[in-house]
Amino acid sequence: MKLHPVKSARDIRLDDDDARVPGAGRQSGKAVERATAKQVERIATLQRVFYADGRHALLIVLQGRDASGKDGTIRKVFTAVNPQGCTVSSFGVPTPLEARHDFLWRVHAQVPPRGMIGIFNRSHYEDILVPRVHGQLDKDGMLERCEQVNDFERMLGENGVTILKFMLHVSRDEQRRRLQERIEDPEKNWKFRAGDLDDRARWDEFTRAYRAVLKHTSTKHAPWRIVPADDKPLRDRMVAETIADALDGLDLRYPKADTTVKDLTVE
Ligand code: AMP
Ligand code: MG
């Protein structure tokens, strides 16, 4: 059950059925939890050497509709990571100052330096999706921003930043359940905004915008992965494994002590 990178438009399946993993019901909840715990531990172990090595940065982009599980994924997948080696940046509606800059200004400032894992809870992709759906960006404007994003991400890649992009794909029904819970559960009220219902009403427009953006920004150096996100434990498992594998593939090593250090003795 690995997540595959989007290589062509054919890989972009965003129907309601695609929010579930086929045959997933056969796995016991306990087995999935154990598998996730293993990946979470792998991430924690690899992060130690990743931090010490200091040659690479890892940028994890989490996109998805409201209630698609971005916050939950961060809570579960990074639970064992040393907070000192990790930053989380959330992107909301641009402030007046942000809106006066180019759309990548606020984003670039949050890209992790080498040695760090940076998590984007929403991202520069909101700056394409939202204005596209709300009519402020026509098709050419959208394609222009996609090209600018591709250039930006390629530049980051050439400067030591590995980028993993996840689109958490939730079905219409599951989103309804989760939003309803936010309305009814006093402990979840704070997560709900009336605007969430406006975005839900534009479900098909967002699907179309996501499809176009995923198609035009899934590059060799920074491909998208679509995560079937209706089942939370499976979602965590798949995201955690992808991140652990990416860290594993970086050929990390602890820097060698310099020779003068080797000769010292602590009295
Ligand atoms: P949340 O992630 O629930 O805190 O909500 C953040 C809100 O900010 C979402 O409704 C996003 O769509 C919105 N948002 C984030 N970035 C942008 C953007 N660049 N333009 C417009 N809305 C945005
Ligand atoms: Mg929200």
Tens digits of residue pLDDT in 73-122? 999 999 999 999 999 999 999 999 999 999 999 999 999 999 999 999 99
Average of per-residue pLDDT values in the chain: 96
Cα of 250 vs centre of ligand 2, distance in Å, is 34
Centroid of chain to Cα 253 = 25
Residues with CB under 6 A from ligand 1: 66, 91-94, 122, 126-127, 130, 195
CA distance 96 to 219: 31
pLDDT attached to residue 28: 84
pLDDT attached to residue 134: 96
Provide the phi-psi class of 23: left if phi over 0, else alpha when psi is between -120 and 50, else beta: left
pLDDT attached to residue 123: 98
Cα of 85 vs centre of ligand 2, distance in Å, is 26
Cα of 116 vs centre of ligand 2, distance in Å, is 26
pLDDT attached to residue 49: 98
Q: Which residues are CB-neighbours of 70 under 8 A, at least 6 positions away?
A: 62, 63, 64, 121, 122, 168
- Examine the pLDDT at 200 and tell me if it is beyond 90: yes
Instruction: Report which protein residue has its CA nearest ligand 1's atom 15.
Output: 92
Q: Which of 91, 136, 191 to mutate to test the pocket of ligand 1 (most atoms within 8 A of CB)?
A: 91
Ligand nearest the Cα atom of residue 182: 2
Q: What are the CA-CA distances from residue 247 to residues 34, 78, 178, 192, 197 (Å)?
A: 20, 13, 32, 34, 38
Q: Give the atom of ligand 1 at the shortest distance from the alpha carbon of 193.
A: 3
Give 17's DSSP letter. G
Cα of 194 vs centre of ligand 1, distance in Å, is 13
CA distance 175 to 178: 5
- Is the alpha carbon torsion for 213, 219, 223, 228 positive or negative? positive
CA distance 27 to 40: 19
pLDDT confidence band for 262 (50 / 70 / 90):
confident
For the chain, helix (H) and strand (E) counts, in that order, are 11, 5
Please write the tens of the pLDDT for every residue from 52-77.
999 999 999 999 999 999 999 999 99
